[in-house]
Structure 1
Amino acid sequence: MTPLDLDSLAHRYRTGSACPADVAEEVLGRIAARGDDHVWITLRPAADLLGDAAALALRWPDPNSRPSLYGVPFAVKDNVDVAGLPTTAACPDYAYVPDRSAPLVDRLLEAGALLVGKTNLDQFATGLSGTRSPYGACESPLVPGLISGGSSSGSAVAVGAGLVTFAIGTDTAGSGRVPAALTGTVGVKPSRGLVSTLGVVPACASLDCPSVFARSVADGLAVLSVIAGQEPADPWSRVLPLPSPVPPAARPLRIGVPYSPEFFGDTAAAVAFEEAVRRLAGLGHRLVPVDLDPFLAAGRLLYDGPWLAERVAAVGDFVFRNPDRVHPVTLKVLSNGGDLSAVDAFEGLYRLRALRARTRQAWASMDVLAVPTVPTTYTVAEMLRDPIERNAVLGHYTTFTNLLDLAAISVPAGRTATGRPHGITLLGPAGSDELLAGPAAAFHALTGGPIAPPGRSSARTDELATHSGPSSARSDGPAAPSSPPPAWNDGSAASSSPPSAWNDEPVAPGGRTPGTQPVLAVVGAHRSGQPLHGELTALGATALGTALTAPLYRLYALNGGEVARPGLVRVTTGGVPVEVELYGLSPSALGALLTRIAPPLSLGTVRLDGGRTAHGFLCEAYATGEATDISRHGSWPDYLLSRASAPDPA
């Protein structure tokens, strides 16, 4: 499939190889090819979608004036208002047609994004499995028969299956992270109040957060930067640091890891998380053991405490007047919230305050907390047999997040030995949204980027083989693949003049040649013939030739330091392509190199021409204040040559 990531679409639009109407046609074709996958509750008519796409081209004919999300197809969870389209919250009899959109939708449309439709969810956003909807249960696009996770099930599958570039979900107990882990996508869960919840059907109004699903951390953060910002009319909105549209360069952090993580008998998931933790350490982070008990205790308050009554306050009038029109599991869950008293509410608030105080002690020793996104996975059939207890298992590592006022990003971590998707979540205090994006992007790149979904299978859930999860006697689990899945090739299309070393193996997102090792883009002092090149040869780096970056950067000659070096800075406007050298090296060597990089440089993800990515040396923007902009030279060696050939001053 043609990549739909932001950089690839921008490249196609900028070069004139596609227009928004072409992309809209591609999206409609992909949706039709998947058939009845239960992803959509309302799809916009093709004529309306194509009409909007044509209008974008007329409104912004000049490529240099186009907004950040120009022609980018997206979907919205159907508990978020879009003017003129029904909002059902996955309950047909609850449906209404709003005359105005949620502010976050208005922001996306004003940024040029192209709305495709509204997606399925666990009814009233109450559930983490994706199986509590009268519109059908979504399955993971990665493993037939596996749940997609919820409640933002349709949004996650729409992105994971390559139907849209990004999708909006919501997250109260983990609905923006659990589906991300099960569909191989990135789930960005902002700080509470960073994105307005006006126009969102509440689940727990004091905890609800709109969220973003994307194929990469960079795309997720770019979308978050558009929808973030205080809304004066929103009582839950608050002033928080606005994240940059670009993930910051990676730097070593103190990352907390649970002393004794729980996987409910899923040994394959336990091994996968151990590998993820090793990768974090390999990136130069210092691991800090953390007692997770106060975090988990806070999470249990969401369904075992008075916050269940807040869900009843949101939709209880409709639910209890129309019990026969509500999903039976949703009705059972909400029925438990009607008997809670004001005393219960205050006792719950006091208990949460005490737990927050205990967790603050943990944050004194760490910058970021890393946990499995889900401890195990289930098939649709397994979930239907025990929908409430297994839902609690899915939320083991997610339900405490909003109660403790944390931001989070869920990132794919490959597959377990049984072929199930696995993911980790990085969490930080409110306002740390941009900080989290740095290590999340670096980790995602190190694992090879997005997981490839196979073609849709007609295999029935009850014919699939078992796996070594919590119940070893399963007869309805998806079969494990006989060999590891192929590397995802989204965004790996070759440039107009690719390096010869890549002719047969295009680089996949995350700077990894499929089936081999990570790729490093070198800008300056580590290039061949430069003073620090010996560090690369000592680490066993293999030369792969040269390439150009995407036209997203400026190059600066930095002041100071024992060795002359440039700084590559990503910019939102005025970027140029910059020549880099490419090297292959092992993950451990890449981690070792990270520990040697001195500020203001650090290791991040560099976008190459044609949509590819690689690890690379990036510079913090603050360091360019007294630096010389040398972008016109196109490369560090050409700049040095120009200095050497310049006439001596008289």
Structure 2
Amino acid sequence: MPPASDTVASPFRGFTLREWQQHYRSAPDSLRTTLSLVLGSLSETDNAWIYLATAEQLEAQIIRLETLRAQAEGSLSALPLFGVPFAVKDNMDIAGWPTTAACPAFAYTAEADATVIANLKAKGAVVIGKTNLDQFATGLVGTRSPYGAVRNTFNPDYVSGGSSSGSASVLARGLVAFSLGTDTAGSGRVPAGFNNVVGLKPTKGWLSNTGVVPACRLNDAVSIFTLTVGDAQTVAHAAGGYDAADAYSRKNPHTAPVAFPAQPRIAIPDRVEFFGDDLAQAAFSEATDRLRHHGVTLETIDFTPFRELAEQLYYGAWVAERTVAVGEIFEESPEVMDPVVRGIVANGLNYSACDAWRAEYLRAELSRKINLALEGFDALVVPTSPTIRTQEEMVQEPVLYNSQFGIYTNFTNLADLSALALPSSLRADGLPAGITLLAPAWHDDALAIFGRQWQRSLNLPLGATGLAMKPEEFMTPAPASAASVRVAVVGAHLTGMPLNFQLTRRNAVRVEQTTTAATYKLYALANTKPPKPGLVRAESGSAIIVELWDIPLARFGEFVAEIPAPLGIGSLELADGRIVKGFICEPWAIPEATEITAFGGWRNYIQSLNSSPVKS
């Protein structure tokens, strides 16, 4: 690693995943040169970093990656993150690297990669360094570290947010393509809001916590910072998956919708607090106006249970979980800890086992109220933080202002919600403002699809890079979700038709209207209630209008079970060559049916019946 004075600006600053993929396609043999340039551009005096890879550690990763490419016979399709540099919050293990959790006395050399790191390396990503944090991930401020307070990337007088301060900072400046944080009370969202980047807080248990220093094991989640929502979604799917070694890892039940409907219904708190920050209030008002402009229906809900649950995390028995997590170092050497962190951890000793059970009962009750309140909504929108503070203000009120930052984040993991922090605007003082969308567990992809649309509607720079989002990013389609089945419907299940409820009650989402290949005939079947068509493949057919719907994978079997003979589900070819699941008809029903291919679709046929003159 060259000394700080020898660092040069990286030509890859602010690259998105798409740009990294383009780079390696055009220069497939540049892996070693490229990553050496990236590492050489980083400064050891930048306190957003706690540890940078040595030349030897980088070379070891490159050799392994070249082996993976050789095994793939040069194809990078199995390595979507090939050669992409990323940063890791220093409470996650990387084999052979130190882990400090921002407490030098706690430091140890990890024996193995954390599961999320191993998953990302298997997809081709390369760890370039480990980042600063509020000690033991305790704080939303970014100032509680012996390695120094990480400064806001837009104005160094202000805080960066925490606890994942370093990860947000290096990402916002475009030094890496993505970074990992952790989020217990908002640590993956508040820094995103303060630095104008995307912060994905996934459903608890989707990304493994094996190899992650715990803050509160019941509520910890590995989080992701990126410059674009699409990149966050890609990284999450690469990093996530069930891990039997993590007692709190979960398998996705595949029952949640994978997208919002065309006209989303989003909840908003009935009373939004900004602690006197008029610029934050104006920014949130602007964001809600923009949501309405884009067809979102906003409806207020009682925010009381959310607020009460948020207060429990630091002002109730839940703080004792942090005491347990810190463990021996607090018991044996408390003087080596940050004073504010030590004080918070010490409060856990004030609670009994009985207090802990009462806290859990209250959590469950409030969580139930929250999830019931969100029924019928696609998401809840809140300010990512109600305000921002200067470094000096944080010195004066380290606990109070930290608590203020968390009023829209602290309840999320306690209530088992997924969350996506999004940039929304730059305030009049030049600081970023952001919104966060929250939804029940496993709605991560639905949040991301909407977040992609939201980000496209803005004219904001990417993080603090000053770079604009390139038009090609707008045109990159959302990935097909493995958590759903795309089904083409042709008749009574179309929007507004009698059986459409069989889709919507199973959280299916309409994707688009299109047509089949010109190789199908359409028939009106005899003696069906409600009336139904039959679609049959034919050599001399026509293109027939269909709607594509994404049905959650676990609900697909229920849907198919309701389909009566002579209909069934098979594979349909669309006009653009895609193959999807769709309605087909058994041949035995065709002789008694009426051919209606000339209408081009079922809806046109039904309209023709309704417009026919009544016979006397």
Distance 2:389 2:262 in 1: 36
**SS at structure 2 position matched to 1:337:** helix
Conserved? CA contact 1:125–1:152, under 8 Å: yes
- Quickly say closer, same or farther: Cα 1:250–1:224, change in 2 above 3 A: farther
- After TM superposition, give the deviation of residue 324 of structure 1 in Å: 1.5
The answer for the alignment partner of 2:147 in structure 1 is 135
The secondary structure found in structure 2 opposite 1:600 is: strand
Name the structure 1 match of 2:446.
435
Does residue 601 of the first structure (1) align with residue 512 of the second (2)?
Answer: yes
1:212-250 CA deviation, whole Å, 9 max, x = no partner?
111111111111101211111211111225799xx8587
**Against the structure 1 CA distance between its residues 426 and 137, is the aligned structure 2 distance closer, same or farther, given a 3 Å change threshold?**
same
The residue aligned with 1:45 is: 54
Change beyond 3 A, Cα 1:447–1:365: same
Could you say which residue in structure 1 is the equivalent of 2:131? 119
Instruction: Give the SS at the match of 1:236.
Output: coil
Counterpart contact for 1:185–1:450, Cα < 8 Å:
no
For 1:193, the equivalent position in structure 2 comes to 205
Query: Of 237, 243, 268, which residue of structure 2 is paired with 1:257?
Result: 268
Q: Which residue of 1 aligns with 2:572?
A: 626
TM-score (norm 2): 0.74
Match of 2:223 in 1: 211
2:86 maps to what in 1? 74
1-structure distance, mates of 2:276, 2:93: 40
Residue pair 2:197, 2:463 contacting (<8 A) in 1 also? no
Structure 2 unaligned spans of 5+: 1-10, 481-485, 492-508, 514-546, 552-568, 579-616
Specify the SS of the correspondent of 2:109.
Answer: coil
**Shift of residue 445 of structure 1?**
1.6
CA distance in 2, matches of 1:452, 1:294: 33
Distance 1:125 1:240, change over 3 A: same
Contact 1:412 1:451 in 2 (8 A): no
- Whether contact under 8 Å (1:225, 1:243) holds in the other structure is no
Question: What stretches of structure 1 move > 6 A for 4+ residues in a row?
Answer: 549-553, 558-561, 621-624
1:234 corresponds in structure 2 to 246
Structure 1 unaligned blocks of 5 or more: 455-485, 493-506, 512-520, 522-548, 562-597, 603-617, 633-650
- Seen in structure 2, the aligned counterparts of structure 1 residues 357 and 250 have a Cα distance that, compared at 3 Å, is closer
Q: Deviations over 1:490-547 (max 9, x none)?
A: 5x3xxxxxxxxxxxxxx485x5xxxxxxxxx7xxxxxxxxxxxxxxxxxxxxxxxxxx
Q: Which of 95, 98, 115 is matched with 1:83 structurally? A: 95
Distance 1:71-1:242 versus aligned 2 partners, 3 A rule: farther
1:74·1:164 contact (CA, 8 Å) conserved in 2? yes
Give how far 1:18 is off.
Answer: 6.9
Taking the aligned partners of 1:176 and 1:559, their CA distance within structure 2 comes to 40
Whole-angstrom CA distance in 2 between matches of 1:174 and 1:361: 22
2:325 corresponds in structure 1 to 314
> For residues 184 and 287 of structure 1, do their structure 2 counterparts lie closer, same or farther at Cα, with a shift above 3 Å needed?
same
- Which of 418, 429, 451 aligns to 1:418? It is 429
Residues 260 and 447 in structure 2, CA contact (< 8 A), matched pair in contact too: no
Q: Aligned to 2:181, what secondary structure does the other structure show?
A: strand
Instruction: For 2:132, give the aligned amino acid.
Output: N
**Deviation string for 1:554-583 (max 9, x for gaps)?**
xx9x9969xxxxxxxxxxxxxxxxxxxxxx
State how many pairs are aligned: 493
- The alignment's TM-score, normalised by the length of structure 1, stands at 0.71
Contact 1:255 1:286 in 2 (8 A): yes
1:353, distance to aligned residue in structure 2 (A): 2.2
Q: Does the 8 Å CA contact 1:225/1:242 hold for their aligned counterparts?
A: no
Please report how far the alpha carbon of residue 621 of structure 1 lies from its aligned counterpart in structure 2 after TM superposition.
Answer: 6.8
CA distance in 2, matches of 1:205, 1:44: 28
Question: Could you list the per-position Cα deviations for residues 83-121 of structure 1 after superposition, in whole angstroms to 9, with x for gaps in the alignment?
Answer: 111111100001111211111111111111011011111
Q: Distance in 2 between matches of 1:350 and 1:383?
A: 33
Distance 1:64 1:369, change over 3 A: same
In 2, Cα distance between equivalents of 1:429 and 1:443: 20
Offset of residue 453 of structure 1: 1.8
What's 1:405 paired with? 416
Give distance in 2, aligned partners of 1:331 and 1:153: 19
- Aligned pair in 2 of structure 1 residues 630, 375: CA closer, same or farther (>3 Å)? same
Counterpart AA for 1:257: I
State the structure with more CA Rg.
Answer: 2
* Aligned pairs for 1:347-496 within 5 A: 347-448=358-459, 450-453=461-464, 488-489=467-468, 492=470
SS in 2 for 1:141: coil
Q: Distance in 2 between matches of 1:333 and 1:508?
A: 47
Q: Deviations over 1:381-401 (max 9, x none)?
A: 221221111100111110000
Decide which moves more: 21-30 or 232-241: 21-30
- The one-letter amino acid paired with 1:310 is E
1:267-326 CA-to-partner distances (Å, cap 9, x unmatched) read 111111011111112222211111111101001000111110111011143113212211
Distance 1:146 1:233, change over 3 A: same
Rate the CA distance shift 1:452–1:88 in 2: closer, same or farther, 3 A.
closer
Query: Does residue 178 of structure 1 match 2:190?
Result: yes
Question: Is the 8 Å Cα contact of residues 260 and 378 (structure 2) preserved in structure 1?
Answer: no
Summarize the Cα distance change of 1:133–1:29 in structure 2 as closer, same or farther, 3 Å threshold. Answer: same
C-alpha distance in 2, partners of 1:6/1:624? 35
- Counterpart among 261, 278, 281 of residue 289 in structure 2: 278
Q: Confirm or deny: 8 A CA contact 1:13 1:63 kept in the other structure.
A: no
Q: Which amino acid aligns with 1:600?
A: V
| 1:338 partnered with 2:249 | no
Work out whether residues 294 and 355 of structure 1, in 8 Å CA contact, stay in contact via their aligned partners in 2: yes
